[in-house]
Structure 1
């Protein structure tokens, strides 16, 4: 992230039931996350969030964004570029 000038002052947290009623979109990286989120979202009475794979916005049609944790630096760079591309495409569609 430092290489790409992205600040890293964030805090991670688990998705809460309230998030499904508060957010318009909840985006995830892989099919396992998608199944889990859909299951949790189905348990929320007033779920308004559209739950999708971030990769569904990838112009190259790479739906799954793999966890680069066990890869080398080039794997992190590839995933970073994939995320940037998908986020830009999502932003264009959502605006």
Structure 2
């Protein structure tokens, strides 16, 4: 079973959406893959995702069930792919490991519509439209991530 981890700052907006979208798609496709998510900071440990993340997932028929947690060193050995939502979190997670970093990626490396942009923007301080934009960006990226993982078999 392939294990995928999505990482952002507080683990209540972007990364739980990544986890939920990935798990929903993998389940619908009958894939032997599972995702989790974590934050590089411990601001929201134990909290549910932001209500706007829950709502945008619900609107798209994607179940979301998550409690925020902090990224830990052991995650680097437990997961086959670890995907940061933005460059700062990518650097933060890279600084936590002294081992192999070949399985660390920016999620938008898999977004065909990225147009050179690396970051999934943090929608926390905006409105619902920002969460919808993030949902679409993450969903597109996950589609290509799954293609990439399947091609490596």
- Which TM-score bucket, shorter chain as reference? 0.7 to 0.9
2:84 to 3, 18, 28: 28
How far apart are 1:8 and its partner, in Å?
A: 2.3
How far apart are 1:7 and its partner, in Å?
A: 1.6
5+ long unaligned stretches in structure 1:
none
Q: How many residues align?
A: 92
Superposed, 1:1-95 pairs within 5 Å as 1-42=57-98, 45=99, 47=100, 50-61=103-114, 62-95=117-150
How far apart are 1:30 and its partner, in Å?
A: 0.7
5+ long unaligned stretches in structure 2:
1-56
Misfit runs of 4+, over 3 Å:
none
Q: TM-score by structure 1 length?
A: 0.87
Do 1:34 and 1:52's aligned partners in 2 also have CA atoms closer than 8 Å? yes
Q: CA RMSD in A?
A: 1.5
**Distance in 2 separating the partners of 1:39 and 1:89:** 26
Q: What is the DSSP-based 3-state SS (H/G/I as helix, E as strand, rest coil) of the residue aligned with 2:138?
A: helix
Do 1:54 and 1:86's aligned partners in 2 also have CA atoms closer than 8 Å? yes
Q: TM-score by structure 2 length?
A: 0.56
